[in-house]
Amino acid sequence: MSGQKTNKKMILDQVGPLAEGMGLALLDALYVHEGGRTILRLIIDKRGGVGIEDCERLSGIADALISEEMGLDDFDVFEVSSPGLDRPLNTLEDCRRHEGEWVRISLYQAVDGEKKFFGKLVVEDEMVGIERESGERKLFSMQDIARVKREIVF
């Protein structure tokens, strides 16, 4: 395993529980190369969305843990960021965290002649789906879903 891959796993293993204790989910630790610099970017999420305050809180604690206690110095800049509104929801946990929000679900194969569904996200056991404004629910297995994408409704 390469150094950055090993470090990424260590970061996820050690910072993940810390984030959870703060009501956050640590989704990823990315090494990004921009402008001749290496950026270590932690991606966090939470129900209702991430605010700058969440990023600041975790940043203050995680930076010291990563740099001082773990002794990692293979980056020039450290950031904590949200995944962004347009990030697809890829896991059952992602869907649980955003249940009740408006989404568009695309399936690999049509069900009852439909491949695309729009409504509020619902999760029941291991099934994910939508509830339409009419109250009608459609549930699918995650393996049948090509994409779950949050939608901004004004």
CATH code of the domain covering residue 123: 2.30.30.520
Quote the domain boundaries for residue 138: 92-150
68 and 18 in a single domain? The answer is yes
11 and 72 in a single domain? The answer is yes
At 56-97, the pLDDT tens digits run: 999 999 999 999 999 998 899 999 999 887 788 989 999 999
CATH number at residue 10: 3.30.300.70
69 and 100 in a single domain? The answer is no
Quick one: pLDDT band at residue 2, thresholds 50, 70, 90?
Answer: low
Q: Is residue 12 in a domain?
A: yes
How large is the average pLDDT for residues 14-30? 95
* Whole-number pLDDT of residue 30: 93
21 and 57 in a single domain? The answer is yes
66 and 97 in a single domain? The answer is no
Q: Using alpha carbons, select from 8, 26, 24, 153 the residue that is nearest to residue 85.
A: 153
Task: Note if the pTM is more than 0.85.
Answer: no
43 and 62 in a single domain? The answer is yes
At 93-102, the pLDDT tens digits run: 999 999 999 9
77 and 96 in a single domain? The answer is no
Q: Is residue 86 in a domain?
A: no
In the chain, the number of structural domains is: 2
69 and 8 in a single domain? The answer is yes
β strands within 9-154, DSSP E:
25-34, 37-45, 77-81, 102-111, 114-124, 127-131, 137-141, 145-150
Q: Is residue 65 in a domain?
A: yes
How large is the average pLDDT for residues 7-26? 94
Q: Are 24 and 46 in contact (CB under 8 A)?
A: yes
* Whole-number pLDDT of residue 147: 96
63 and 25 in a single domain? The answer is yes
Q: Is residue 15 in a domain?
A: yes
Whether pLDDT at 130 is above 90: yes
User: Cα torsion at 29, 34, 36, 40 (round to 10°)?
Assistant: -20
